[in-house]
Chains A and B, each alone.
Chain A
């Protein structure tokens, strides 16, 4: 089932004009901001396909910027997001690419501040739904519907089992899980969708495990 809840059909409540190019874009921006964990200082957004061709007419640029500032799809501040970003000292640069991507509505976002940087790729799949398909070069598949745990770890045996054990001990059920790596033996990323919320005590316990580099809870 691609669509589970009625509110995917009757919803979202959103600022127009396009569920895929405006609401979906706002959700991609907001997901990027949540994964980054703070307001970035500088953002470079590369738009592909239909996003690149029609973003001005659909407000895709203001929606992405609004998402990065933390605005939801229905937040009226989206309309003025570019000015608000400027006031808050967030520099946002848009680039158009004619490179072919798998999905027509794709945005690549590079976020940085004095403490670090991050790159995510999001796609808007229709009706306001979106997926994050890449994080710092790791392939993944995040819909943003369920709680998500992102665990960056050393690519070695036992890492997945140790993380799963901690979740089991806290009676947290895994709904979907994916492990992605760039090459054998380097760093790898576990993305785990859970049925229950992951509290910070669980997060800390996982961080302390052997071979774990970082843990992010969304």
Chain B
């Protein structure tokens, strides 16, 4: 690794790519050095803490795919198992087994989250399924080591930090595009590096993934992190895998990555409050959304 004296700090995705590629490093190398520098901790200590996060992700996937998960409200749970069973038994899979693995693992994690299980917020709990779904599926496909997977988390963290500091990662501030959108972009960048892609290709994957999440509003039924959140995690994982493949194929985004991130921020700023986690608009305000809200809070009240 050629680092040491070189300044590994970055504020934008363009800077991150430049810092990495000038010295022939990976994004994960830059992120480790940056974290070590900013927080005054050894890279080894940071790496160990991150591998524990990967273990928590794996346990959540396992629970969601094997146990009978049901949330307190009853809105979510059990779909991850359904998708896995279909993948095993269906004669034809329209999207393919890899994509369905990513989707079912993302769903499993989000269902465990909704049922008050243990997860890692990436970057938020509402978007916690996308990274585990893609990283574990890509690792299986690529026969990747545990170290490569943890490195994937560092890549996604590097992208997440730039998005959080230049735009937003909160649904209340920027809509679902800021949560599930950011997580999808982070995951796409991670699996590109895991597959041997360059830092530039990771950056292209971020742009391609995030562009397809722009404008996504945060409209949770009854204000709960369940519907449509679980299914948006599922589709986020699917988009991340496809965006990664496109970037690895050499496809480039017409609009540079940092400008896509800025567009996401601007869209979030002009998004009406009713569509930013207030449960006042979108799916939350549909007749069924409202009926479910009344039903859930009545039931919860009675159980107290």
Contact = CB atoms under 8 A, between A and B. Distances in A.
Bound pair (A, B)? yes
Interface of A: 1-20, 22-23, 50, 53-54, 56-59, 74, 76, 78-79, 104-105, 125-128
Given A1-B165, A126-B172, A17 B114 contact: yes
24 contacts: A2-B165, A6-B46, A6-B154, A6-B161, A8-B123, A8-B164, A10-B131, A13-B120, A14-B120, A17-B71, A17-B113, A17-B126, A17-B224, A17-B225, A18-B125, A19-B121, A19-B125, A50-B172, A50-B223, A50-B278, A57-B297, A126-B173, A127-B164, A127-B170
Contacts of B237: none
A76 B46 CA distance: 24
A95 B164 CA distance: 33
A22 B278 contact: no
A196 to B, nearest CB: 11
A5 B40 CA distance: 11
Nearest to B111: A16
Interface of B: 31, 35, 38-39, 46, 49-50, 52-53, 56, 71-73, 112-126, 128, 131, 153-154, 156-158, 160-161, 164-165, 168-170, 172-173, 186, 222-226, 277-279, 296-297, 300-301, 304
A19 B126 contact: yes
Given A76-B118, A127-B123, A6 B169 contact: no
A23 B165 contact: no
A123 to B, nearest CB: 12
Contacts of A76: 118
Given A2-B164, A5-B38, A16-B116, A127 B169 contact: yes
Nearest to B60: A16
A65 B21 CA distance: 48
Contacts of B161: 3, 6, 8-9
For the complex, would chain B's binding face be called helix, strand, loop or mixed by DSSP majority?
A: helix
Nearest to A79: B116
A3 B182 CA distance: 15
B223 A54 contact: yes
A28 to B, nearest CB: 16
A15 B118 contact: yes
A10 B164 contact: no
A61 B186 CA distance: 31
A53 B284 CA distance: 14
Contacts of A4: 38-39
A58 B114 CA distance: 9
Contacts of A58: 223-225
Contacts of A23: 121, 125
Nearest to B223: A54
A79 B118 CA distance: 11
A125 B168 CA distance: 11
Contacts of B112: 16
Contacts of A127: 121, 123-124, 164, 169-170
A10 to B, nearest CB: 5
Contacts of B31: 6
A57 B165 CA distance: 30
Given A18-B126, A126-B124, 14 more contacts: A2-B165, A4-B38, A10-B50, A10-B156, A11-B121, A13-B52, A13-B119, A14-B125, A22-B125, A23-B125, A50-B278, A56-B300, A126-B172, A128-B124
A124 to B, nearest CB: 10
A67 B118 CA distance: 16
A51 B175 CA distance: 18
Contacts of B115: 16-17
Nearest to B273: A104
B163 to A, nearest CB: 9
Contacts of A13: 52-53, 56, 118-120
A19 B124 CA distance: 6
B125 A9 contact: no
B152 to A, nearest CB: 10
Contacts of A16: 112-119, 125, 128, 225
Contact of B120 (A10, A17, A59): A10
A126 B121 contact: no
A114 B172 CA distance: 40
